[in-house]
Amino acid sequence: MTLSTRRQAKRAARRAARRALPFRRRLLPTWRVTLGTLATLLLLAAGGFAVLYVIVPVPDPNAHAVAQNNIYLYADGTTEIARTGAVNRTDVTIGQIPLQTQQAVVSAEDRTFYQNRGIDLKGLTRAGWNTLTGKGKQGGSTITQQYVKNYYLTQDRTLERKGRELLITLKVDQQLDKSEILAGYLNSSYYGRGAYGIQSAAHAYYGVDSSQLTLGQGAYLASLLQAPSLYDVRTATPANREKAIARWHYALDGMVQLGFLTPADRTATTFPEPIDPKPATGLAGQAGYLVGVADDYLISSGTLDAATLKSGGWRITTTFDKPRQDAFARAVQEQLTGELDPQSRPTTDTDVRVAGASVEPATGRVVAVYGGPDYVKQPFNDALRQDNQIGSTFKPIDLAAGLIAQHTVDGRPITTESRYDGTSERPVTGGPTPYAPPNEDDTDYGTITLRQAMVKSVNSVYAQEGVDAGLARVRETAVKLGIPDSVRGMDPANTSMTLGTATPSALDLAGAYATLAAHGQAHTPWSVLTLERVNPGGSVDIPKMPEHKATEALDRQIADSVTDVLRDVISPRGTGSAALDLNRPAAGKTGTTDSNLSAWFAGYTPELATTVGLFRENPKTHAKEPLAGTAGFTRINGGAFPTRIWTAYMTAALDGAPTQDFDLQTGPAVPTGPIFPTAPMTTSPSATTTPSTGPATAGPAPTQAPSAPATPEAPATGAAGPSPQPPKPTDPEQPSPTPKPTPRPTRPTGGGPTPTGGPATQQGTPPALSP
């Protein structure tokens, strides 16, 4: 039998054997067919890749690197706020970049840089797997890939761009040595503060040439590459500052792992604080602050990343209303700045700062902010900072949480007319940590309703009420209203949380109060209406903007009940009496922190919610300084300058608009169940928490101003009776110690201002907060 005959016989035998198999088994291809198909596909893929590798050129390095200005507009779409985005970049050679800075970048961004061929297949596979398995969208790009994207391509997130990136990366890795690639990457990357390239970054953050960077400084610049704007520790939130420093540690630890740095030198390296940011040109006055709020919104919402935004060419129409923005700046100037005399009072009238924000409750649109007097002179946006405690402006959140809870620790319902012991320094019962906060001027109020306690901002009452509501519920309520869950001072493990140790920004707080004004419907404040960019080729980029749907943070009856109480704060007997000059229905709350480190007023009408915060800060150390003595007053409370600024701004902002009343749907002031007796005033540590014994449902607010609430001297109708020893409190939110408040604080007589402090806090407990 010949060889040909034997082959034919074998093939015939295989065909016969396959025909003998069941039908479903014959549908499966044989291993020869499978292997042949795979081999063909591999050859086609290799051939296709080879063809693409040949035909896809490395583009001109600067073809896609021309940046344009960003144009920011007011809400009218025509009035210009500022132009920014000019590229701030000076290229340097690799020899002008310290070796340790180069190594820190490799450690932070691509630890296989000196070994890979431009692409890290293991890293790409790991990133893809983590993304698919729900561990978050992750990238596996090497330094070479990032350089190609920055220097040759665009920031577009498309499969076509990614495919070109991989092909060009392979070519670039073949054509350039590692030092050239690293130099290109360091010169093209964005570091924040408008700085492109390592040379500009060295000047922006440390005021030196790149050749003078220390180990620690170089490692920090390397850390910035991951999130340049968010990781600027001079302007970052506390949480982002921690992340930035953690990234700095990661870079240094990687240098040790790669053998670039000895453990001893690593241990001896301390974090190098950068210098304060210098303002960009064209951002004078309020413009820089408005641009900062718009940029923060675009980046934090995920609409654009920082590099894409800074690449320029964007036409950004904001939500800011120019007349209202001008009115905010004018109110601060007329009500505060004009009262300061730094020459005569250099130790108290310098470094005074104001943070403010104004939000539409119905939409969440930010219509105005106050971040400082002039961005060129003060390039810090105080409207966005999250490091000032808000004091008693937190008490409405305590009340809302209590109304949600519907019971105290002993099962008695909480309503706006529930009665508490207002004795100063009465120990809080049931809290996780010991706490006995003093009232302003150590005033005892006896048995007092929650409504009256809000009007007089009684610390001892709301410290206990917050614990009764449940500190975890208080925190949850704050977050639902709009206070970010990442801010400091909202730990349910600390009883003092009830009196406002939280540190949201003025914009955060305005958003929370806007939720109350909107009957419990919450909008996250937003500041950009439209966004578009015309590219050199004529195409137009129009990113999808976030939706602004409301979420229900509170039941309407609860939100409206809080508003009903806050209307009484703006009354002749309330701590916000200065806001009566608005001559419109309004609700609000004052706040002053212990040691007089900050003072606040947060308030709203049906149309607009606005917050104003006042504080002092050392410009060199950034340490907070007491407000006592400012403008010649012994104490600056929320009812003074913050309320005056608020009133002046709101008067101008609502000028010409028809007066609107609150459309409130409040719940019952007292429960329909059994009536509990009213406990007499006691000086014992235990709290007395009982509702009033008669129906005390609040009526609608008057058109011009709310009526004065019941005071400790005149209990609410239906109460069991006055306290056995009725106190005669002074108005805790007025600088003058006289009982009758005046819209403007009164300077003390005698030998000038003397800072006044509250009673000493209890040893081992958190600081108490004043109204």
Residue 14: CB partners within 8 Å, gap ≥ 6? none
Mind telling me the catalytic residues? Answer: 109, 392
**Residue 718 zone, left/alpha/beta (φ > 0; ψ -120 to 50; rest):** left
Neighbour-count burial of 23, counting CB atoms closer than 10 A to its CB (0-12 exposed, 13-18 middle, 19+ buried): exposed
Cβ 572 vs Cβ 731: under 8 Å: no
484 is written with which tokens?
A: 């970010």
Phi, psi of 522 (to 5 degrees): -100, 135
Distance CA(230)–CA(216), nearest Å, equals 19
Strand pairing category for 609-617 and 352-359: antiparallel
Cβ atoms of 225 and 107 within 8 Å: the answer is no
Cβ contact 384:295 at 8 Å: no
Largest Cα–Cα distance in the chain? Answer: 130
Distance, CA of 370 to CA of 354 (rounded, Å): 7
Amino acid in the structure at residue 286: Q
Q: What angle do CA 277, 280, 284 make, to 5 degrees?
A: 105
464 contacts 397 by C-beta, under 8 angstroms: no
Coil vs helix vs strand at 339: helix
Contact between 712 and 446 (Cβ < 8 Å):
yes
Q: What are phi and psi of 509, to 5 degrees?
A: -65, -40
For residue 35, which amino acid is it? L
Question: How far apart are alpha carbons 450 and 692 in whole angstroms?
Answer: 10
Characterize 747-766 residue by residue with b for buried, 16 or more Cβ atoms within 10 angstroms of its Cβ, and e for exposed.
Answer: ebeeeebeebebeebbeebb
* Backbone torsions φ then ψ of 211, nearest 5 degrees: -65, -15
Q: Which two tokens stand for residue 195?
A: 């700085």
Are 374 and 429 contacting, i.e. CB atoms less than 8 angstroms apart?
A: no
- For 411, other C-beta atoms within 10 Å of its C-beta total 7
